[in-house]
Amino acid sequence: MLLENKVVVVTGGSRGIGRAIALASAREGADVAINYWGDNDKSYGKESAVESIVAEIEALGRRAIAVEGNVALHETGIELVRRTVQAFGRVDVLSSNAGICPFHAFLDMPPSVYETTVAVNLNGAFYVTQAVANQMKAQGTGGAIVATSSISALVGGGMQTHYTPTKAGVHSLMQSCAIALGPYGIRCNSVMPGTIATDLNADDLANPDKRAYMEKRIPLGRLGAPDDVAQCVVFLASERARYVTGASLLVDGGLFVNLQ
């Protein structure tokens, strides 16, 4: 029980990697506050995505709340922390995971696409981290912040010229926050997922030729699963990583080293 009796906040926690992080945290003994944005209409069976994840966590014997809000807005981070403390009394761990990646060509990219991607991925990580860090400082017992960056922080993407800089920014944000927040016992790290199979890329991966091409480039021979990332987040959030801060962990099956 690596996170026993801890309170974990997960942004973008109703789907994909965030959902796996929320569940993995609960399995390791944590109560979980799940931030989501507009997922109510994306059905998982008879329940919405966020209703489903709350029910799954409660079935594990842990408590969960769902807090809707766009992390691109400064006030969302403040409200998320307020609601979490109201429900559970404290915040011990932040998984800053919310992000978007609308593929688009560079030369004709509308400003709105670029600005929205930066607002959600980078501004959102900054605002939520700031709000949580202030709460952790006030508590005086330290904490752990793990942000979801990407292998794209280290490599280019012709259809991701708006996305890759945001993930490099998240990586850099955690390095700087490790310095700024270390004196308060707050550790800040990031994970860098490679190609992870989620519902967001399911249509793309349904093409057998494309899936085979992707798998061939990965030394471990398979695409990642959301729980592959979640287990690394749990480790970095736990006391087993108590002397790890300012680090970034590639979770990519070896893809990055194979691209060099």
pLDDT average per 10 residues of sequence, the chain (260 residues): 98 96 98 86 63 96 97 98 98 97 95 97 98 98 98 95 98 98 98 92 87 94 97 98 98 94
Report pLDDT for 205.
Answer: 86
Report pLDDT for 48.
Answer: 86
Instruction: Report d(CA 231, CA 248) in Å as an integer.
Output: 14
Match 């008879």 to its residue by tokens.
46
Report pLDDT for 197.
Answer: 94
Report pLDDT for 45.
Answer: 53
Instruction: Give DSSP secondary structure letters for the chain.
Output: -TTTT-EEEETTTTSHHHHHHHHHHHHTT-EEEEEESS-TTSEETTEEHHHHHHHHHHHTT--EEEEE--TTSHHHHHHHHHHHHHHHS---EEEE---------STT--HHHHHHHHIIIIIHHHHHHHHHHHHHHHHTS-EEEEEE--GGGTS--TT-TTTHHHHHHHHHHHHHHHHHHGGGTEEEEEEEE-SB--TTSHHHHTSHHHHHHHHHHSTTSS-B-HHHHHHHHHHHHSGGGTT--S-EEEESTTHHHHH-
69 and 37 in contact (C-beta within 8 Å)?
yes
Report pLDDT for 47.
Answer: 64
Report pLDDT for 41.
Answer: 46
Q: How far apart are the first and last CA of the chain?
A: 38
Query: Hey, which residues are catalytic here?
Result: 150, 163, 167
Report pLDDT for 46.
Answer: 52
Domains of the chain in start order, with CATH, are: 7-196+225-250 (3.40.50.720)
